[in-house]
């Protein structure tokens, strides 16, 4: 199976994984960006997880004067509407589907797979999760937005998928208003959404890591 290159980590105890978390980075980063969060989640020993942090391909990014960098899709303008290359975003979502299939082939029940993404990565995982033919455990959108909300054709398999949406109140890269729009769109589509707001910029904070851990333990229980 031809999949994106990725950093892979197991829960600190090294037990055979019974669940998987596929976690996408933001614009200009790579799969190492969130690898350090694994031990900070303090997941219990009876919840062994394989973490997969894929690397985005390097493409020209319009808002950065065409500079080539790791990106899940091209961002065409930085207005509040966040006009993006939907075709590229969709292809990245399909690449996530391939990673899901690889985890299933490795013996992980798809209902114990969580998709997570920060910023650009969050936009991709929302598209990937809602269009996945296999039922998933949940999706996490961190400091992100939902540019395909009006276009997504969600599958019955994930019609009631739980979603965690986290955002910083001081985020100037992806304004909180975009996170709120994503939350509202997901609720309108019938998803149970947990909204979490933190006094931070375009980043991750300790309180958020604790909330992520609690949410993961709940959806993977």
> Looking at residue 26, which CATH number applies to its domain?
3.40.50.1820
Q: What is the DSSP string of 167-184?
A: EETT-SSS-HHHHHHHHH
| Domains: count for the chain | 1
Residue 171 lies inside a defined structural domain of this protein: yes
Mean pLDDT of 83-99: 96
pLDDT tens-place string over residues 111-137: 999 999 999 999 999 999 999 999 999
Domain that holds residue 133: 6-219
**Residue 1 pLDDT:** 64
Average pLDDT over every residue of 164-189: 97
The answer to whether residues 20 and 68 touch, using CB atoms and an 8 Å cutoff, is: no
CB atoms < 10 A from the CB of 21, how many? 27
Q: DSSP assignment of 70-109, as one string?
A: E-SS-B---STT--B-HHHHHHHHHHHHHHHHHHHHTT--
Q: Is residue 191 part of a domain?
A: yes
The average pLDDT across 56-63 equals 95
User: Does position 78 have pLDDT exceeding 90, yes or no?
Assistant: no
Mean pLDDT value across residues 68-76: 96
Q: Which two tokens stand for residue 88?
A: 């590229």
Q: What percent of the chain has pLDDT over 90?
A: 91
Q: Stretch 161-177: mean pLDDT, rounded?
A: 96
The closest of 33, 58, 59, 12 to 116, measured between CA atoms, is: 33
Residue 28 phi, psi (nearest 5): 85, -5
Mean pLDDT, the chain, integer? 95
Provide the annotated active-site residues.
119, 171, 202
pLDDT of 77: 83
Whether 141 and 165 have beta carbons less than 8 Å apart is answered as: yes
- Tell whether 1 is covered by a domain: no
Copy the structure tokens of residue 98: 């391939």
Query: Could you tell me if residue 157 is inside a domain?
Result: yes
pLDDT value for 117: 98
Question: Which tokens sit at 75?
Answer: 């961002």
DSSP class of residue 43 equals -
Mean pLDDT of 6-13: 87
What is the structure's pLDDT at 111? 98
| Residue 170 Rama label (left phi>0; alpha psi -120 to 50; beta) | alpha
Q: Do the Cβ atoms of 101 and 132 come closer than 8 Å? A: no
The reported pLDDT for the residue numbered 12 is: 72
The pTM of this model reads 0.96
Mean of the pLDDT values across residues 190-199?
A: 97
How many whole angstroms from its chain centre is CA 106? 21
pLDDT value for 55: 98
């Amino acid at each position: 199976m031809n999949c994106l290159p990725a950093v892979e980590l197991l829960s600190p105890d090294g037990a055979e994984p019974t669940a998987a978390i596929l976690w996408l980075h933001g614009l200009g980063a790579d799969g190492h960006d969130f690898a350090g969060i694994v031990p900070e989640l303090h997941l219990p020993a009876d919840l062994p997880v394989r973490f997969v942090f894929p690397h985005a391909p390097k493409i020209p990014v319009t808002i950065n004067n065409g500079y080539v960098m790791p990106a899940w899709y091209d961002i065409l303008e930085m207005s509040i509407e966040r006009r993006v290359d939907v075709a590229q975003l969709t292809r990245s979502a399909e690449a996530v589907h391939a990673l899901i299939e690889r985890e299933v082939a490795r013996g992980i029940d798809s209902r114990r797979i969580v998709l997570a993404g920060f910023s650009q990565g969050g936009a991709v995982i929302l598209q990937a999760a809602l269009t996945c033919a296999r039922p998933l455990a949940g999706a996490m959108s961190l400091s992100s937005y939902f540019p395909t909300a009006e276009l997504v054709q969600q599958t019955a398999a994930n019609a009631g998928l739980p979603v965690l949406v986290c955002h910083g109140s001081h985020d100037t890269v992806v304004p909180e208003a975009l996170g709120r729009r994503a939350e509202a769109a997901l609720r309108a589509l019938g998803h149970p959404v947990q909204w979490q707001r933190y006094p931070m910029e375009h980043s991750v904070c300790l309180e958020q890591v604790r909330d992520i851990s609690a949410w993961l333990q709940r959806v993977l229980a």
